[in-house]
């Protein structure tokens, strides 16, 4: 996120990047801590999804070969500049490296920075950079490139989505490079989680001075180098023999732009492509793919979180009691079962995915009687609201209908309205009081809570503004004790659940269609492992 997104572009009328990719193809007082009941969110114990493959085919790939990837159509303004809101996402992890990345266990891991450390107040961070790294044009990677990358992201001319996250913290004029392998980042205010903010997909490192050309050349330090690229069209990348972590398994990757999900699925089943990028298969299609001779599934646990955002600036959702009633009224386990056939985990209105470091397992109990009581206190004997959905994503309408059915017991009448897919993220998102959407997981907890829920953030799709919540996030950022900081972020999650405007019924497993020849498919932190993926019997 969505954003892949979603991965949203900045601004009040911002469009999630996923909609840019698909646009061309689109046919009162808080209840308090006592409201939370300790429990672990989990999927239904038995579901049709249990019959689907739990992971990609095992085994080592053969050296060489060309992987063929079908991706959704993109904007004609698509670019290879990773800082851009229109970046060609599928290319980024192959062409570039970050300073810091998310490891398979969800914690921070070295990439171009071998280590990093703060001062005592977490106000200044020093990054020790990897030696012996070269860009695809043979130039050595130095601290000047790392500093330039941050300045490029922060430059208003770039229009980077990540600028809104970094600008309150980083003054580009104060960045220091005491030597070729050291980057010093003084912050405007303490932030003990700052390195995690550099794991975002907009933070891939580009060469010093490359702003005018990087969108075309794609010159990075990644395991692949650019051969050809056409915005919204085909492209090819080839193995970079001198990659600092070793040569990738594959010789090359070909990218194809395919108009819709059904066409991409048919190409996979026919053996014309090997992997469907940025395509979460619906359950029916996933079952067909899993049972075919040529294709199967890679299942990425809790890769997307689905949301019903309530605009807190629009009635009836200006009243916190109504928001609380909307959450207590429905059963997330029911929505998970109906909308996802159990292929995911119940969300219980906490947007931080289970398994994420710092996730709060406590959640409110499904209680339609308490929901009725809250609505009466808010002046509603019965409540009727419109819930907007679209064919943009195959899960939106099943989720909306399942919520409608579940909330009926609390006396809430939901009228499901279907909007056009091609204008959904320009005419509906952040404009209608209640609608369906989704986000990609993988954001560190600090970025997730600040970017999506802090008052005034351009990503804040519920327009929720809570000074106490914002102050709690500021305290967490200043806290250098890991355990205490985790507790503060958990308190922030409680605030989102108790007072916020986001109904989060579930986290969905992403069901990725792949050829049965593919080996080494591993996905985390917004991307799969380009270095280790390959083919068997290619």
Using the predicted structure, report yes or no on whether residue 23 has a pLDDT greater than 80: no
Give the pairing of strands 176-179 and 523-524: unpaired
At residue 412, the pLDDT reads 97
Alpha-carbon span 73 to 71, nearest angstrom: 6
Nearest to 506 by CA among 216, 217, 280, 301: 301
Please compute the mean of the pLDDT values over residues 486-498 and round it to a whole number. 97
Count of other CB atoms within 10 angstroms of residue 472: 18
At residue 525, the pLDDT reads 61
Tens-digit pLDDT profile for residues 393-418: 889 999 999 999 999 999 999 999 99
Alpha-carbon span 420 to 93, nearest angstrom: 32
Tens-digit pLDDT profile for residues 295-346: 999 888 888 899 999 999 999 999 999 999 999 999 999 999 999 988 899 9
Using the predicted structure, report yes or no on whether residue 3 has a pLDDT greater than 60: no
At residue 357, the pLDDT reads 82
- DSSP secondary structure string, 432-478? SSBB-EEEE----HHHHHHHHHSTT-TT-TT----HHHHHHHHHHHH
Look-up of token digits 């989505």: 161
Contacts of 404-407 with CB under 8 Å at 24 or more apart are 405/334, 405/338, 406/329, 406/330, 406/331, 406/334, 406/335, 407/326, 407/329, 407/330, 407/368, 407/371
Tens-digit pLDDT profile for residues 251-292: 999 999 987 888 999 999 999 999 998 777 888 888 899 999
Residue ranges of E strands in 78-159? 100-102, 108-110, 113-118, 124-129
Using the predicted structure, report yes or no on whether residue 42 has a pLDDT greater than 50: no
Give the pairing of strands 412-419 and 383-390: parallel
Q: Residue 46: pLDDT band by 50, 70, 90 thresholds? A: low
At residue 526, the pLDDT reads 63
Question: Which DSSP symbol is given to 25?
Answer: G
Please compute the mean of the pLDDT values over residues 39-60 and round it to a whole number. 64
Using the predicted structure, report yes or no on whether residue 17 has a pLDDT greater than 50: no
Q: Is 185 exposed, middle or buried (0-12, 13-18, 19+ CB in 10 A)?
A: buried
At residue 392, the pLDDT reads 84
- 264 — phi, psi (to 5°)? -65, -40
Using the predicted structure, report yes or no on whether residue 192 has a pLDDT greater than 90: yes
Alpha-carbon span 404 to 299, nearest angstrom: 28
Question: Which DSSP symbol is given to 251?
Answer: S
At residue 5, the pLDDT reads 41
Alpha-carbon span 334 to 404, nearest angstrom: 11
Tens-digit pLDDT profile for residues 136-162: 999 999 999 999 999 999 999 999 989
Q: Is 178 exposed, middle or buried (0-12, 13-18, 19+ CB in 10 A)?
A: exposed
Rounded to the nearest 5 degrees, what angle is found at the Cα of 381, between the Cα atoms of 317 and 434?
25
Alpha-carbon span 65 to 24, nearest angstrom: 31
Alpha-carbon span 183 to 205, nearest angstrom: 13
At residue 309, the pLDDT reads 98
Q: Residue 510: pLDDT band by 50, 70, 90 thresholds? A: confident
At residue 33, the pLDDT reads 38
- 13 — phi, psi (to 5°)? -105, 30
Q: Is 88 exposed, middle or buried (0-12, 13-18, 19+ CB in 10 A)?
A: buried
Look-up of token digits 């005419």: 427
Alpha-carbon span 364 to 408, nearest angstrom: 18
pTM, full prediction: 0.82
Alpha-carbon span 41 to 504, nearest angstrom: 12
- DSSP secondary structure string, 165-221? HHTTTB-GGG-EEEETTEEEEEBSS--TTGGGGGGSGGG----TT-TTTHHHH---S
At residue 520, the pLDDT reads 92
Tens-digit pLDDT profile for residues 451-471: 899 998 888 999 999 999 999
At residue 281, the pLDDT reads 83
212, two tokens? 């005018």
Nearest to 473 by CA among 503, 501, 494: 494
Using the predicted structure, report yes or no on whether residue 527 has a pLDDT greater than 80: no
- 246 — phi, psi (to 5°)? 110, 160
What domains appear along the chain, each with residue ranges and CATH number?
Answer: 17-48+302-510 (3.10.105.10), 63-80+216-301 (3.40.190.10), 89-214 (3.90.76.10)
Mean pLDDT of the chain: 88
At residue 49, the pLDDT reads 67
Query: H or E stretch including 287?
Result: helix 283-290
Q: 3-state SS of 337-375? A: HHHHCCCEEECCCCCCCCCCCCCCCCEECCCHHHHHHHH
Q: Residue 47: pLDDT band by 50, 70, 90 thresholds? A: low
At residue 2, the pLDDT reads 39
Alpha-carbon span 459 to 11, nearest angstrom: 8
Tens-digit pLDDT profile for residues 432-453: 999 999 998 878 899 899 989 9
Please compute the mean of the pLDDT values over residues 53-58 and round it to a whole number. 76
At residue 356, the pLDDT reads 84
């Amino acid at each position: 996120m969505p954003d892949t997104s979603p991965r949203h572009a900045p601004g009040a009328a911002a469009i999630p990047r996923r909609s840019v990719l698909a646009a061309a193809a689109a046919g009162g007082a808080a209840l308090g801590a006592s409201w939370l009941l300790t429990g672990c969110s989990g999927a239904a114990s038995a579901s049709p999804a249990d019959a689907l493959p739990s992971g990609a085919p095992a085994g080592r790939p053969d050296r060489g070969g060309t992987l063929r990837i079908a991706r959704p159509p993109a904007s004609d303004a698509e670019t290879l500049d990773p800082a851009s809101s229109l970046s060609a996402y599928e290319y980024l992890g192959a062409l570039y490296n970050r300073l810091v990345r998310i490891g398979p266990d969800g914690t921070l891991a070295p990439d171009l920075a071998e280590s990093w450390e703060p001062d005592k107040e977490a106000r200044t961070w020093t990054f020790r950079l990897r030696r012996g790294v070269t860009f695809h044009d043979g130039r050595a990677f130095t601290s000047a490139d790392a500093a330039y990358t941050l300045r490029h992201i922060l430059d208003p001319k770039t229009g980077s989505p990540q600028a809104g996250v970094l600008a309150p913290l980083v003054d580009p004029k104060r960045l220091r490079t005491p030597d070729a392998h050291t980057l010093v980042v003084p912050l405007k205010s303490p932030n003990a989680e700052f390195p995690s903010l550099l794991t975002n997909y907009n933070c891939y490192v580009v060469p010093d001075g490359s702003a005018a050309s990087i969108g075309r050349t794609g010159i990075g330090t990644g395991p692949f180098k650019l051969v050809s690229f056409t915005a919204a069209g085909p492209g090819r990348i080839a193995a970079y023999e001198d990659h600092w972590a070793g040569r990738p398994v594959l010789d090359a990757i070909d990218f194809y732009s395919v108009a819709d999900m059904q066409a991409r699925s048919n190409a996979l089943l026919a053996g014309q492509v090997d992997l469907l990028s940025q395509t979460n298969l619906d359950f029916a299609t996933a079952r067909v793919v899993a049972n075919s001779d040529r294709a199967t599934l890679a299942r990425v646990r809790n890769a997307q979180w689905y949301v019903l955002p309530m605009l807190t600036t629009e009635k009836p959702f200006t009243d916190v009691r109504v928001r609380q009633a909307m959450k207590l009224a429905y059963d997330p386990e029911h929505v998970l079962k109906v909308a996802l056939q159990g292929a995911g985990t119940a969300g219980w209105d906490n947007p931080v995915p289970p398994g994420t470091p710092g996730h709060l397992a406590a959640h409110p109990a499904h209680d339609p009687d308490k929901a009725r009581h809250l609505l009466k206190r808010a002046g509603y004997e019965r409540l009727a609201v419109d819930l907007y959905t679209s064919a943009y994503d195959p899960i939106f309408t099943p989720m909306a209908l399942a919520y409608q059915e579940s909330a009926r017991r609390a006396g809430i009448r939901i009228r499901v309205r279907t909007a056009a897919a091609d204008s959904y993220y320009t005419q509906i998102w952040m404009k209608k009081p209640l609608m369906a959407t989704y986000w990609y997981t993988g954001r560190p907890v600090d970025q997730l809570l600040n970017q999506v829920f802090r008052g005034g953030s351009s990503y804040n799709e519920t327009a929720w503004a809570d000074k106490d919540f914002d102050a709690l996030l500021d305290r967490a950022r200043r806290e250098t004790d890991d355990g205490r900081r985790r507790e503060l972020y958990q308190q922030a999650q409680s605030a989102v659940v108790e007072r916020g405007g986001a109904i989060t019924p579930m986290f969905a497993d992403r069901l990725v269609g792949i050829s049965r020849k593919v080996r080494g498919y591993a996905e985390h932190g917004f991307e799969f492992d380009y270095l280790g993926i390959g083919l068997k019997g290619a």
